[in-house]
Structure 1
Amino acid sequence: MSTNVLTGVLSRTARFVPRRSDYAGLRRSWRADVVAGITVGVVALPLALAFGISSGVGAAAGLITAVVAGLVAAIFGGSHVQVSGPTGAMAVILAPIVAEHGLSSIAVVTVLAGVLVLVAGVLGLGRAVTFIPWPVIEGFTLGIAAIIFLQQVPAAFGTVAPSGARTLNAAVDVVVNADWSTAWPALAVVAMVAVIMLVLPRIHRSIPESLTAVIVVTLIVHFTGLFDVASIGELPSSLPAPSIPHVDPAMVKSVLGAAVAIAALAAIESLLSARVAATMSPTGPYDPDRELAGQGLASVASGMFGGMPATGAIARTAVNVRSGARTRVAAIVHSLLLLGVVYLATGPVSAIPLAALAGVLMVTSFRMVSVGTVRAILKSTRSDALIFVVTAIITVTLDLIEAVQIGIVVAAFFALRQVAQRSSVTREPLPGDPRPGDERIALLRLDGAMFFGAAERISTTIADHPDESVSVVIIRMSRLGMLDATGAHSLAEIVTELENRGITVIIKGVQPDHLELLEGVGVFDSLRHDNHLVDTLDEAIAHARSHVERERI
């Protein structure tokens, strides 16, 4: 027995260990992988810096996260083409944590969240993302895009957000109280970045528009002296030595809720990104549990190096796939390229205007939203449109994780209501030629589901069906798809009530997976005889007719 358990543990552990098959076909694809890695690294540089600043952790932390977490996730993750690093959603959720608990808490939060994601992968929770409805995902994405845009408003006006204010309120406050004499240089920088990013793809799609825009605008600001705007400032010229963050029990207790929220967001975003990548890339499916384990390890490593929590990045992953990536080498090259920036180019990077990065994120936020997708959801069912809108509004006004939770609850409510509406009781005529006394037999067919959402309505309908002339009721259950404890209990009450009224109840066609539940709640005990539980309709009708015949005699 112990040998079997050990074998099972080793077999399960092997799923999470890097293997040679991760690089199958590398001999044929290595050139394309290297080119894709360089391309996505160029795209990732300004985003890593911008998301680091936007989160409140700092540009250096964003760059470190892209290097360390990107490398670890590429090696240990469950997708061959996923690119990981700091993301807009993570920046959004980190900003209030930094404001409330301070920068010193980020290392603990990052490592703790990573451990939670790692455990989720080991426990096999990777498939859970499939239970999140499409309107919830798209509403969440729209809300994240709106928050990313709003977070950049203070930097776009050359100021800082009021401390303690929510993102929407802070953005409105900055615009209303703006000093336009000092705001115009930063707004001009944002406008130049936006124009370049929008125009370049029309000239040539292979040009990295975000990096090009940042370089051009940085040179204009530096050499013209026309724009007095703040820059990133000094960055480290090497990676810090890894260290285990000091664990203070009081701090762990205070940030545990934040770590759980970050872990949930990291898991959801990473699995969604990996799923999108699997549909785009010919490299085959991904392993969701291994992806969670890899992302968890990536965040743990990032926290030890002074970075922030990481997730799979949908936009960068899409760039990676479109650039020809076929193996993990592309994501590894992306991280190595950014590592080269840390050691060789932090001087030029430190001169980048903060407003330029704000412009990059503002344009990126618009590109996160698919107008076609929004239109399709709004034109679908009313319930899906409501779920989408509610999720988006809650994401912007309240909390990211609450938005997903409430969106799922609303979606579940509408789904259950639809199932309940499709559940029904139908009185059928007896098959074959009518016989004397058949009018005293009611054949009732249950369709759909008999569960807590529909049990009362179905039980009321059945109880009201038999008129005074009916002496036998056949309840046909062969078409009943779902049955829960509430539905089974209601059925037991129905049988008891009909029997107390002197009406014989015969149950026909109970499905095997319903037998134990019906027996457990006492449905069969409520029947007058054991032979009133039958398998076929012919048997049920014959037995009912024998009852009617005895009553006539």
Structure 2
Amino acid sequence: MKLSIDFRPMLLDRIKGYTSQTLSRDLMAGLIVGIVALPMAIAFAIASGVSPEVGLITAVIGGFLVAALGGSSVQIGGPTGAFIIIVLGIIGEYGMSGLLLATLMAGILLVLMGVLGLGSLIKFIPYPIILGFTAGIAVTIFTTQVNDLFGLGLTALPKEFIPKWGVLLSSLGKTHWLTLAIGVGSVIIIQLTPKVTKVIPGSLVAIILMTLLGYGLKTWGGITELTTIGDRYQISTSLPSFVTPELSWEAIQRLISPAFTIALLGAIESLLSASVADGVIGERHRSNTELIAQGVANIVVPFVGGIPVTGAIARTMTNINNGGRTPVAGMVHAVVLLLIFLFLMPLTAYIPMACLAGVLVVISYNMSGWRSVRAALKGPRSDAAVLATTFLLTVLFDLTIAIELGLLLSMLLFMRRMVESTKILVSRKELALHAHGDDGHHGAQEVLTLPDGVEVYEIDGPFFFGIANRFEEIVSATGDRPKVRILRMRFVPFMDSTAVRNLHILIETSRAQGVQLVLSGVNPRVRETLIATDIVDLIGEHYICSDIHLALEAAVSYITSKEG
């Protein structure tokens, strides 16, 4: 069978009929998004444990590839806050070489997802899981910034959440009040800027003002305790050299779980961003193309020492709000960041760490989605349980465990709902028919009198392993054995392998007891399953009927033949 790959970059379609007016809008949007992305790329890089230029290079290369190859006209790619915690964890355990290999593996997984057409399936990740791990990431990001925000100067914080907070709270007496003032002032500026202008991002205003203030205090005020980026990192303006991730089978085995988490998180965030953008611009993105583009970006960035890339909702919305409508805007944003990297990078050395902490505190607050979390906790208890479990696992353990166990819990709760919603009805003397279904008639409801020795079992819902075992228990619990069991399947959309096996056993057991099984209301999809698994040959074509009237005729015919 030939594999058809769903890959067609949106750029190929949007470039047709491209006008100078569209170009001017894209140039302006790209310029503004590039300015907005600057503080975020630096903040996310430092919070992830890498240098500022790594964040910028990731935004340049990743952002350009996502725009040029992606399935959305307005998607902006780059490093995001969602990856901070997992990147920190990978670097802490496996080093920078481990991160590069995990990112490369995640890129390959994303490409495979797109090639196999899994773009639409990612959308079925339960919303409580997304809310839970996003809120958990927000709390964890805030926790990582408390040290810099308060100027505590701690160098050896525990990795675990509760012990870390124990150390932070016990060290609050060491707060450097000027550092805290700069951090809190940054938060206030970021919050107030949109009330003055929506063109210039508040984070950029805060960084410029606080950097000037910090520079003045250190140069003329004699304040040396104020920590800046330059105090921690050696800023470089040279283009990155080619890096080869260390490949070994042992490393691949160790990193497959973190790589899967990066890939799944990147897929969810990028497709969620593209879906939000669709609703604003009235477009429909190509999910599989988007996954392949995200994969290519994550395959390339490790070779220049970059960190994971995904679609960024905030930057994508900034692009839309400033007139960007084609992938050219995203490509321009990458070029703007490259120019800043080449000519203005040395100035980042003067940015106070407390200012970046303030930027990340605002980002973590916006990520938390506390209003959505509060609303979800008032919903069904099963959804609230999934949300709370995912949140706690993200905060107390790590994102990999949170996503895996969150998905497992969601599937178990979903199956329980399916079992509870699927009904198994037993009729012995009379059978009520409905105007819809497999009764073969479309008039008023009627009640059929069942012949002696005939029982009717009706399954209302999917016939899968949970229902299969329950159905077997109900049949086994019946008292006197009938001569014919009719299994109504008019509302059974599909059967899984466990249901087929149980049905196979039921046919053989019934035959050994002298009971004939008749199937009624079998739809074409279920019939294909019965043919493929040899159930039709076992029970006989005559005993697989399209409606209940034919099934009863087959039952009476069987009883008559036996009595004769």
Query: Does TM, scored on the shorter chain, surpass 0.5?
Result: yes
Tell me if 1:316 matches 2:315: yes
Shift of 1:327: 0.8
Shift of 1:167: 4.7
Instruction: Judge which range, 136-145 or 443-452, deviates more.
Output: 443-452
Identity of aligned residues (%): 34
Q: Is the 8 A contact 2:493 2:525 kept in 1?
A: no
Q: Is the 8 A contact 2:106 2:259 kept in 1?
A: yes
**Counterpart position of 1:156:** 149
Instruction: Judge which range, 425-434 or 270-279, deviates more.
Output: 425-434
Tell me if 1:120 matches 2:119: no
**Residues 497, 466 of structure 1: alpha-carbon distance in 2 compared, 3 angstrom cutoff:** farther
Tell me if 1:58 matches 2:57: no
CA distance in 2, matches of 1:97, 1:375: 31
Q: Of the candidates 504, 507, 524, which is equivalent to residue 519 of structure 2?
A: 507
**Counterpart position of 2:504:** 492
**Residues 246, 548 of structure 1: alpha-carbon distance in 2 compared, 3 angstrom cutoff:** closer
1:96-107 correspondence runs (5 A) = 96-107=89-100
Root-mean-square deviation (CA), in Å?
Answer: 3.0
CA distance in 1, matches of 2:17, 2:410: 41
Post-superposition Cα deviations, 1:45-72, rounded to whole Å, max 9, x if no partner, equal 1111111111111112111111221122
Post-superposition Cα deviations, 1:88-111, rounded to whole Å, max 9, x if no partner, equal 122211112222233344444444
CA distance in 1, matches of 2:452, 2:250: 75
Shift of 1:314: 1.7
Tell me if 1:231 matches 2:228: yes
1:171-210 correspondence runs (5 A) = 171-180=165-174, 182-210=175-203
Q: What's the secondary structure of 1:19's corresponding residue?
A: helix
Post-superposition Cα deviations, 1:349-406, rounded to whole Å, max 9, x if no partner, equal 2100011001100111101133332233122211111111111111112221221221
**Residues 507, 305 of structure 1: alpha-carbon distance in 2 compared, 3 angstrom cutoff:** closer
1:256-335 correspondence runs (5 A) = 256-282=256-282, 284-335=283-334
CA distance in 2, matches of 1:533, 1:119: 41
Q: Is the 8 A contact 1:450 1:484 kept in 2?
A: yes
CA distance in 1, matches of 2:528, 2:299: 46
Q: Which amino acid aligns with 1:442?
A: E
Q: Which amino acid aligns with 1:325?
A: G
**Residues 307, 536 of structure 1: alpha-carbon distance in 2 compared, 3 angstrom cutoff:** closer
Q: Is the 8 A contact 1:489 1:521 kept in 2?
A: no
Q: Which amino acid aligns with 1:329?
A: V
Q: Of the candidates 473, 477, 482, which is equivalent to residue 489 of structure 2?
A: 477
Shift of 1:76: 1.6
Tell me if 1:144 matches 2:137: yes
CA distance in 2, matches of 1:500, 1:15: 58
Shift of 1:439: 4.5
- Tell me the TM-score normalised to structure 2 length: 0.87
1:456-475 correspondence runs (5 A) = 456-465=469-478, 467=480, 470-475=482-487
Q: Which amino acid aligns with 1:49?
A: I
CA distance in 2, matches of 1:114, 1:546: 63
**Residues 170, 378 of structure 1: alpha-carbon distance in 2 compared, 3 angstrom cutoff:** same
CA distance in 2, matches of 1:147, 1:271: 23
**Counterpart position of 1:441:** 454
Q: Is the 8 A contact 1:135 1:385 kept in 2?
A: yes
Q: Is the 8 A contact 1:144 1:395 kept in 2?
A: yes
Q: Which amino acid aligns with 2:96?
A: L
Instruction: Judge which range, 237-246 or 329-338, deviates more.
Output: 237-246
1:13-24 correspondence runs (5 A) = 15=8, 19=12, 21-22=14-15
Q: What's the secondary structure of 2:424's corresponding residue?
A: strand
Post-superposition Cα deviations, 1:128-175, rounded to whole Å, max 9, x if no partner, equal 312311111111211111111111112223224525623553244223
Post-superposition Cα deviations, 1:177-224, rounded to whole Å, max 9, x if no partner, equal 3442x5323222211111111222233333411111111122222224
Q: Of the candidates 7, 20, 27, which is equivalent to residue 20 of structure 2?
A: 27
Q: Of the candidates 201, 208, 211, which is equivalent to residue 204 of structure 2?
A: 211
**Residues 357, 490 of structure 1: alpha-carbon distance in 2 compared, 3 angstrom cutoff:** same
Unpaired segments ≥5 residues, structure 2: 434-445
Q: What's the secondary structure of 2:29's corresponding residue?
A: helix
Aligned length: 541
CA distance in 2, matches of 1:338, 1:434: 76
CA distance in 1, matches of 2:132, 2:322: 28
CA distance in 1, matches of 2:287, 2:563: 66
Q: Which amino acid aligns with 1:266?
A: G
Post-superposition Cα deviations, 1:247-306, rounded to whole Å, max 9, x if no partner, equal 566655654544343333323322222222222223x22222222222222233322223
Q: Which amino acid aligns with 1:228?
A: E
Instruction: Judge which range, 538-547 or 372-381, deviates more.
Output: 538-547
**Counterpart position of 1:403:** 402
CA distance in 2, matches of 1:393, 1:229: 34
**Residues 249, 551 of structure 1: alpha-carbon distance in 2 compared, 3 angstrom cutoff:** closer
Q: Is the 8 A contact 2:139 2:368 kept in 1?
A: no
**Counterpart position of 1:88:** 81
Q: What's the secondary structure of 1:384's corresponding residue?
A: helix
Tell me if 1:454 matches 2:467: yes
**Residues 122, 494 of structure 1: alpha-carbon distance in 2 compared, 3 angstrom cutoff:** closer
Q: Is the 8 A contact 1:221 1:227 kept in 2?
A: no
- Tell me the TM-score normalised to structure 1 length: 0.88
Q: Which amino acid aligns with 1:482?
A: F
**Residues 454, 342 of structure 1: alpha-carbon distance in 2 compared, 3 angstrom cutoff:** same
Q: Is the 8 A contact 1:378 1:385 kept in 2?
A: yes
**Residues 548, 264 of structure 1: alpha-carbon distance in 2 compared, 3 angstrom cutoff:** closer
CA distance in 2, matches of 1:255, 1:487: 37
**Counterpart position of 1:166:** 160
Post-superposition Cα deviations, 1:385-428, rounded to whole Å, max 9, x if no partner, equal 11111111111122212212211111111111111112222235
**Residues 475, 105 of structure 1: alpha-carbon distance in 2 compared, 3 angstrom cutoff:** closer
Q: Is the 8 A contact 1:424 1:446 kept in 2?
A: yes
Q: Which amino acid aligns with 1:205?
A: K
Instruction: Judge which range, 142-151 or 248-257, deviates more.
Output: 248-257
Q: Which amino acid aligns with 1:399?
A: D
**Residues 539, 259 of structure 1: alpha-carbon distance in 2 compared, 3 angstrom cutoff:** closer
Tell me if 1:69 matches 2:69: no
**Counterpart position of 1:346:** 345
Q: What's the secondary structure of 1:425's corresponding residue?
A: strand
**Counterpart position of 1:48:** 41
Q: What's the secondary structure of 2:207's corresponding residue?
A: helix
Q: Is the 8 A contact 2:11 2:327 kept in 1?
A: no
Q: Which amino acid aligns with 2:77?
A: S
CA distance in 1, matches of 2:531, 2:522: 11
CA distance in 2, matches of 1:442, 1:219: 86
Q: What's the secondary structure of 1:345's corresponding residue?
A: helix
Q: What's the secondary structure of 1:453's corresponding residue?
A: helix
